[in-house]
Amino acid sequence: MAKKLAIIASKGTLDGAYPPFLLASTAAALGFEAKIFFTFYGLQLLKKDLSLKVSPLGNPAMPMPVPVPSIVQIIPGLEAFATWMMQRKLKKKGVASVAELRDICLESDVELIACQMTVDLFDFKNTDFIDGISHGGAATFLEFASEADITLYI
Amino acid sequence: MSDFDTEIDTSGLNCPLPVLKARKMLNEMTSAQRLRLICTDSGALKDIPAFCKMTGNPLISSDEIDGKLYFIIEKGA
């Protein structure tokens, strides 16, 4: 029987988008049955319009070309600059884009589940999300996770 | 280096793209056909053998020539 991977994706930043989509697409390539449950800010990863950002603010481990003190990081435009810089670096190093990995997940039958409670909480519309996803709650995730070989909270 | 039927060059691409591209190509191949996979991602040195082991597609050979990795993967039954 196929191995199973269950992931909870709770982050909606550019850097936070990589682990769930990257691991699930690779798991599918290895013959796993994989499901990702998107909750809270993780729901941003299911939006048709993926405008994910990365911020150095509150993230002292983020490598910067020059040291930028926290007080300076609140300047408007710094987050956009950091995002642009990260995207340029990802492309230059031959790393797949988030959209590309998400497409591979869909093509390889990774089930993408939107947490219904947080969809309602944030008043998101189903039309905001890509096609081919499903909806579910805590019991939906736990049922699958109870049989999973690997379970991750990201 | 062994013979092969199909080739993919993933030079310049990083993890997990070599594995994902190998998977896609193997899906289109028939049993016992051989794929030559070229990688520059140094992580592939461990990732490709792990992929082969988990998917039952035997890794026939792996060679490193001028900083590039050359894998020959046989499509399993």
Residue A40 has pLDDT above 80, yes or no: yes
Q: What is the mean predicted confidence (pLDDT) over B34-42?
A: 97
Active site residues per annotation of B: 15
- Inside any domain, residue A29: yes
What are the tokens at A36? 């990702």
Sheet holding A134-136, edge to edge: A134-136, A111-115, A33-38, A4-9, A150-153
Q: Which residues pair with A136 in a beta bridge?
A: A115
**With pLDDT > 70 as the criterion, what percentage of chain A qualifies?**
100
- As a whole number of angstroms, the distance between CA B51 and CA B22 comes to 9
The answer for A 104-133 residues in CB contact with B (under 8 A) is 104, 108
- pTM passes above 0.90: yes
Higher pLDDT, A88 or A72: A88
CB B75 within 8 A of CB B30: yes
Give pLDDT tens digits for A96-143.
999 999 999 999 999 999 999 999 999 999 999 999 999 999 999 999
Question: Which structural domains are found in chain B, ordered by start?
Answer: 6-74 (3.30.110.40)
- Inside any domain, residue A59: no
- Domain CATH code at residue A42: 3.40.1260.10
State the ipTM, two decimals.
Answer: 0.88
Residue B1 has pLDDT above 70, yes or no: no
Residue A65 has pLDDT above 90, yes or no: no
- Inside any domain, residue A22: yes
Q: What does the buried/exposed string (b/e) look like for A100-133 if buried means 16 or more CB atoms within 10 Å of the residue's CB? A: ebbebbbebebbbbbbeebbeeeebeeebbbeee
The answer for B 3-62 residues in CB contact with A (under 8 A) is 12-17, 19-20, 22-23, 41, 51, 54-55
CB B15 within 8 A of CB B43: yes
Tell me how many domains chain A contains. Answer: 1
Alpha-carbon distance B10 to nearest alpha carbon in chain A (angstroms)? 9
- Inside any domain, residue A71: no
- Inside any domain, residue A21: yes
